[in-house]
Amino acid sequence: MARVYNFSAGPSALPEAVLQRARDELLDWRSTGMSIMEMSHRGKDFVAVAEKSEADLRELLAIPANYKVLFLQGGATGQFAAVPMNLLRGKTKACYVNTGLWSEKAIGEAKLFCSPDIAASSKESGFTIIPSRSDWRIDPDAAYLHYTANETIGGVEFQDIPDSAGLPLVCDMSSNILSRPLDVGRFGLIYAGAQKNMGPAGITVVIVREDLVGQALPGTPSIFDYKKQADNGSMLNTPPTYVWYLLGLVLEWLKEQGGLAAIEARNIRKAEKLYATIDASRYYSNPIEPDCRSRMNVPFRLANADLEKVFLAEARTAGLVNLEGHRSVGGFRASIYNAMPEEGVDALIEFMGEFERKHG
Ligand SMILES: Cc1ncc(COP(=O)(O)O)c(C=O)c1O
């Protein structure tokens, strides 16, 4: 069976080499006579896998020694709650930047624990820009400043790390982590669900500065308490061992690709040629301000919206799938994470040109 180019926003395409290796190792992992998913999470074999994945993540992202790396469950949505539970540290306010639907979800969940203060919002522009930094109002009494590095639905991405005016900077990096080099030392906390750039769904990475750990709100469930998880090597309960192993394979693949600088160069090439195709045509359009367009999720529309279903059907026939936009915004969205090969983007561009010639 031929594999398709899968533009899904998440769970997303995995590197083919990773899937092949997982297949090869499935029944008999390193001559143990069993699959890795059949082993105890506390046995030496799995513990070695878990430790290697942390070491590789630390290497790839150059994570400073004073940061804990946690592998948790509950998704990024779980972190929308875990962040205020752990980081309020006696304060009653936290600042949030609202750049789209994922920011709004984080804000909604924070309301269960504190009064989120909206430091800046691009809602009025329809989330097509990042609010100008000079307009951000950061309350010095807030516990932290939260932002969403890449809005997976809207297709808006921060191209640099914002200044948090001395507050611990907290970032939802679910849809662009590991897509470019990162200065982790600028952050108090980074979290990301794995299912876009790191592996299959089911595991969430949290990178948190040590001094922010250990002051969770009374009543915080143990599995959401960063200190308890850190003290237990993220194994307070049974972790999703197979997903963790697959995440480790993705990290090894990323190192083989040349690390984050190399993957960034490829990601820039992929995004630039796709946006160039959209911009050069009167038939396709993308509403996002050019300097905050996402390299990972590229939303676009057709001049003639009546042809959307035809576009999707013909794309599918050409082996290009999951191009539907999010149900809340419609149109199309091409998610072109690390695992999308450049040939996949080239195939989409070629298809878009042919479709325009045929129907435009
Ligand atoms: C930016 C962002 N944040 C949070 C989430 C929610 O992640 P999860 O489904 O792992 O809770 C997503 C999922 O697509 C996302 O793209």
Give the pLDDT score at 327. Answer: 87
The residue whose CB lies within 8 Å of the most ligand 1 atoms, and thus the one to mutate among 80, 175, 296, 327, is 175
CA nearest to 78, candidates 218, 182, 194 = 194
The yes/no answer on whether domain 257-359 falls in CATH 3.40.50.720 is no
Distance (Å, rounded) from C-alpha 203 to C-alpha 197?
12
Residue whose CA is closest, atom 9 of ligand 1?
75
Question: Tokens 């611990």 label which residue?
Answer: 168
Residue whose CA is closest, atom 5 of ligand 1?
76
Span from the CA of 38 to the centroid of ligand 1 (angstroms) = 28
Distance (Å, rounded) from C-alpha 268 to C-alpha 263?
9
Residues 6+ apart with CB under 8 A from 359: 304, 307, 310
Tens digits of pLDDT across the chain (360 residues): 689 999 999 999 999 999 999 999 999 999 999 999 999 999 999 999 999 999 999 999 999 999 999 999 999 999 999 999 999 999 999 999 999 999 999 999 999 999 999 999 999 999 999 999 999 999 999 999 999 999 999 999 999 999 999 999 999 999 999 999 999 999 999 999 999 999 999 999 999 999 999 999 999 999 999 999 999 999 999 999 999 999 999 999 999 999 999 999 999 999 999 999 999 999 999 999 999 999 999 999 999 999 999 999 999 999 999 999 998 888 999 999 999 999 999 999 999 999 999 998
Residue whose CA is closest, atom 4 of ligand 1?
76
Give the pLDDT score at 1. Answer: 67
| Confidence (pTM) | 0.98
- Which residues are the active-site residues? 102, 172, 196
Q: In this structure, are residues 285 and 300 in contact, taking their beta carbons and an 8 Å threshold?
A: yes
Span from the CA of 12 to the centroid of ligand 1 (angstroms) = 12
Give the pLDDT score at 329. Answer: 86
DSSP string over 94-147: EEEEE-SHHHHHHHHHHTTTSEEEEEEE-GGGTS-S---GGG----TTSS-EEE
Look at strands 156-157 and 150-151 and give their pairing: antiparallel
Distance (Å, rounded) from C-alpha 173 to C-alpha 152?
10
Residue whose CA is closest, atom 15 of ligand 1?
174
Q: In this structure, are residues 87 and 189 in contact, taking their beta carbons and an 8 Å threshold?
A: yes
Look at strands 93-98 and 145-148 and give their pairing: parallel
Provide the sign of the torsion angle of the four alpha carbons 71, 74, 75, 80, taken in this order: negative
Q: What are phi and psi of 97, to 5 degrees?
A: -100, 130
CA nearest to 253, candidates 241, 239, 240, 266 = 266
The C-alpha angle 241, 244, 248, rounded to 5 degrees, equals: 135
Residue 26 corresponds to which tokens in the numbers above?
């499935």
Segment holding 299, helix H or strand E:
strand 297-302
The yes/no answer on whether domain 17-256 falls in CATH 3.40.640.10 is yes
β-sheet bridge partners, residue 151: 156
Give the pLDDT score at 320. Answer: 98
Give the pLDDT score at 328. Answer: 86
Residue whose CA is closest, atom 7 of ligand 1?
76
Segment holding 266, helix H or strand E:
helix 259-280
DSSP letter, residue 338: T
Distance (Å, rounded) from C-alpha 245 to C-alpha 243?
5
Ligand 1 closest atom vs CA 201: 10
Ligand 1 closest atom vs CA 75: 10
> Collapsing DSSP states into helix, strand and coil, what is residue 298?
strand
The residue whose CB lies within 8 Å of the most ligand 1 atoms, and thus the one to mutate among 71, 77, 297, is 77
Residues 6+ apart with CB under 8 A from 28: 34, 35
Span from the CA of 65 to the centroid of ligand 1 (angstroms) = 27
Amino acid at 312: L
Span from the CA of 33 to the centroid of ligand 1 (angstroms) = 36
Span from the CA of 287 to the centroid of ligand 1 (angstroms) = 22
Ligand 1 closest atom vs CA 153: 16
Ligand 1 closest atom vs CA 193: 10
CA nearest to 300, candidates 273, 329, 320 = 329
CA nearest to 173, candidates 142, 126, 205, 199 = 205
DSSP letter, residue 235: -
Span from the CA of 242 to the centroid of ligand 1 (angstroms) = 20
Give the pLDDT score at 66. Answer: 98
Domains of the chain: which residue ranges?
17-256, 257-359
Ligand 1, residues at Cβ distance < 6 Å: 10, 75-77, 102, 148, 152, 172, 174-175, 193
Q: In this structure, are residues 207 and 69 in contact, taking their beta carbons and an 8 Å threshold?
A: yes
